[in-house]
Each structure stands twice: as C-alpha cells, then as structure tokens.
Amino acid sequence: MFAFVAFAALMTPQAAAQEQPVEPYKIDPTNAGAAPFAGDGMARAFGGQDGISRIVDRFVTANFADRRIGEIFMNQDEVRLRRVLFEQFCYILNAGCTYTGRDMRAAHKDMGVQQGDMNRLVENLQAAMQAERVPFAAQNRFLAKLAPMRRDVVER
Ligand code: HEM
C-alpha cells in the first residue's frame, strides 16, 4: 500500500509535466516558419488564445494516439511540443504570442517524416479545428500558411 502511494505521488501531474532541455538554439519568432496574419480576424475565427489552446491540445493528443503516425511522436517531449506548438499557432494567427521554439528544419531533422505522415497530421489538425467550429475558410487559410513548411519537415 505504502509503495503504491509513493509511486502515485511520483506520477502526479507536476512530476509528469517536466519539459526536457534541448540543445541551445537562437530564439527568433521567424523560426515559426511563416509571417503572422494581419489584423485580428484569424485570431477571432480560432476563438482567441483559449480556442487555439484547445485546438493544439486536441491536435497533439490525436497525433500521439494516431495508429499511423503516433510512432514518430512516441518518446518525444509532449510537454514541450504542446507549449511551443501553441506559441507557433498563436503567433501565426496573430493572437498575441511570440514563438520561442526551433525552426521547422531543426525541429524535424532526422525524423524520417514522409508526405503521407504530413497528410495524416493535416487530417488531425482539420479534425481539431472542426471540433472547435473554426469556419472552413479560416481553416483553409491557416493550412495554406503551413503548407510551405512541408519542404522543411518532409524528408526526401
Ligand atoms: C506544417 C507542418 C508542421 C508544423 C507546423 C510542425 C510544428 C512543430 C513544432 C513547432 C515543433 C516543436 C519545435 C521545438 O521543439 O522547438 C515540432 C516538433 C515535432 N514535430 Fe512537427 N510540425 C509539422 C509537421 C510534422 C509532421 C508531419 C510530423 C510527423 C508526422 C511531426 C512530428 C513532430 C515531432 C515528433 C516533433 C518533436 C517533438 C519534440 O521534440 O518533443 N511534425 N513540430
């Protein structure tokens, strides 16, 4: 019983939610890979920071649980990914954030991501945006911003 309680204490959310350190890199919002939208239309279409946060959470959870691409995410730093992906989306949607993560080439280096993996990830993002009732036109504008990043993410 005592052992179980001690184990459970180790597994508290605080203990599990530690972000792992990464190799040093230069922090620069242009690492986000796309310039932010002008105005607040896109931020509002996504429900502001609260909506973006829910979309990122749903999206990250779906990617880790995915039978097709989950293997690529397995053993990666989910805590960090949730934080910097939120920053990236919030920054690009002009919802009042800056991006402190790595650039897309460095972030996906040697992961072996293929075009089919990218397509699957986009499907998961579409489902997350749909669940948050982001208007279809705004979904597509956002996906069009992300699309050119393919060349830095997908390996050939
Ligand atoms: C346009 C498409 C994509 C965008 C915008 C994107 C965005 C990001 C960002 C912001 C990070 C974190 C960078 C950092 O840690 O500093 C990241 C890491 C990562 N991405 Fe992507 N990504 C894309 C495509 C993909 C695809 C297609 C896969 C695989 C199916 C993938 C798998 C991963 C994994 C496994 C990590 C590492 C997480 C970690 O180091 O903890 N990404 N991505």
Measured in angstroms, how far is the CA atom of residue 111 from the centroid of ligand 1? 10
**pLDDT for position 16:** 57
Report yes or no on whether pTM surpasses 0.95: no
Give the count of beta carbons closer than 10 Å to the beta carbon of residue 36.
19
The C-alpha angle with vertex 119 and arms to 117 and 123, in degrees rounded to 5, equals 115
Domains of the chain in sequence order: 25-150 (1.10.490.10)
Question: Position 60: which residue type?
Answer: V
Question: Position 16: which residue type?
Answer: A
Placement of tokens 């992961």 in the chain: 111
**pLDDT for position 73:** 98
Measured in angstroms, how far is the CA atom of residue 19 from the centroid of ligand 1? 15
Structure tokens given for 80: 């960090």
pLDDT in tens, 80-132: 999 999 999 999 999 999 999 999 999 999 999 999 999 999 999 999 999 99
Contact present, 131 and 58 (Cβ < 8 Å) = yes
Tallying the residues shown for the chain, one arrives at 156
In angstroms, the first-to-last Cα distance of the chain is: 53
Question: Position 107: which residue type?
Answer: A
Q: Report in angstroms the alpha-carbon separations of 81 from 39, 56, 65.
A: 26, 9, 15
**pLDDT for position 156:** 83
Calculate what percentage of the chain has a pLDDT beyond 90.
88
Q: Show the ligand 1 pocket: residues with CB < 6 angstroms.
A: 69, 72-73, 76-77, 80-81, 84-85, 88, 101-102, 107-108, 111, 113, 117-118, 121, 146, 149, 153
